[in-house]
Amino acid sequence: MKQIKFLRSFYTALTVIGIIVAFGFANLPTRNLEVTFLDVGQGDAILIRTPQNQKILVDAGPAGKILPSLSKELNFFERKIDLIVLTHPDTDHVAGFVEVLKRFEVKNVLLTGVRHETKWYAEILAQIYKQQIPVFIANAEDDFKFGEVALDVFWPNESFVARSMEDANAISVSMRVVFGETAVVLTGDLDVASEKEIVATSQNLKAQVFKLGHHGSKTSNSDEFLSAVNPEIVIVSAGKDNKFGHPSPKILRRVWGLEVLETSELGNVKLVSDGLKWK
């Protein structure tokens, strides 16, 4: 009996040690930038993990989709997200933040502040206010630094706080995430008219990776914008056999010859950069 009790205690101790060791390794700096395009069906959600293990979540997809996808990328002990970005208030981009805000400790929020009347957006704003999370308003003049990683916000170019917009897609928070010589461009559901305004500013949009705007819709992803970004890899975040026909065959023809990765076919798509190249 004593031997059995000793073995139980011994194996219990090993289990505890294993959990502690796993937790420690999971939170060590990786020296790489990881960008994971989460499979949330017809919606957008991108998890960025910096070399210093800071975590940024850009959009969170529709309700009920984000947590299963996040659980594949974050271990049980990872309960802090350093920044969440609401590119615009559409439900397929932000509804999942209700679950995220209840489950994780969110340190900062970036959004446009545009007025939008939906229950999901109202609940998100209520949670942010209740938890007293610092809020930053997206502006092309303001960038964010996470160690060696820069979030270069290039749109919108003016404040839309408390303003109503018939189409909030046009002011989607758009950014170039830069690490060393590598970059990825994220544009939410930005439309062609806004893309053309951005290109006209002649700012640096170059990136090896581009997530197609508006799930690959033909209302986004203009020739001019694609030429300015000049990507090698394009990501499509859309639901399988969705009713909108995303990604548009016209846009797929436009990016023919590039590496196209679709979450509807591959699930979570993770790209890793060492600062020199993506793999």
**Each residue of 32-75: pLDDT tens digit?**
999 999 999 999 999 999 999 999 999 999 999 999 999 999 99
Contacts of 13 (CB under 8 A, 6+ apart): none
189 shares a domain with 83: yes
For residue 12, pLDDT over 60 is answered with: no
Look at 41 and 28; give whichever has higher pLDDT. Answer: 41
Q: What is the pLDDT of residue 1?
A: 56
pLDDT of residue 162: 80
Q: First CA to last CA across the chain, in angstroms? A: 54
Phi, psi values for residue 4, rounded to 5°: -65, -45
Domain-located, residue 237: yes
> Are 59 and 168 within 8 A, CB to CB?
no
For the chain, the domain total comes to 2
Domain span holding position 2:
1-29
Q: What is the pLDDT of residue 279?
A: 92
Q: pLDDT, tens digit, for every residue of 76-85?
A: 999 999 999 9
Determine the average pLDDT of the residues in 206-214: 98
pLDDT tens digits, 189-206: 999 999 999 999 989 999
134 and 43 inside one domain: yes
257 vs 163, residue with greater confidence: 257
**Residue 230 predicted with pLDDT over 50:** yes
Q: Over 90: is that where the pLDDT of 27 sits?
A: no
Same domain, 113 and 156: yes
pLDDT digits (tens, 9 = 90+) for 129-150: 999 999 999 999 889 999 999 9
Q: What is the CATH number of the domain that holds 190?
A: 3.60.15.10
111 shares its domain with 208 = yes
Q: Please indicate, yes or no, whether residues 167 and 74 belong to a single structural domain of this protein.
A: yes
Based on the fold, state whether residues 38 and 79 are members of the same structural domain: yes
Give percent of the chain above pLDDT 70. 89
**Residue 279 within a domain:** no
Q: What is the mean pLDDT of the chain?
A: 92
Secondary structure of the chain in HEC code, one letter for each residue: CHHHHHHHHHHHHHHHHHHHHHHHHHCCCCCCEEEEECCCCCCCCEEEECCCCCEEEECCCCCCCHHHHHHCCCCCCCCEECEEECCCCCHHHHCCHHHHHHHCEECCEEECCCECCCHHHHHHHHHHHHCCCCEEECCCCCEEEECCEEEEEEECCCCCCCCECCCHHHHCCEEEEEECCEEEEECCCCCHHHHHHHHHCCCCCCCCEEECHHHHCCCCCCHHHHHHHCCCEEEECCCCCCCCCCCCHHHHHHCCCCEEEEHHHHCCEEEEECCCCEC
- Residue 108 identity: N
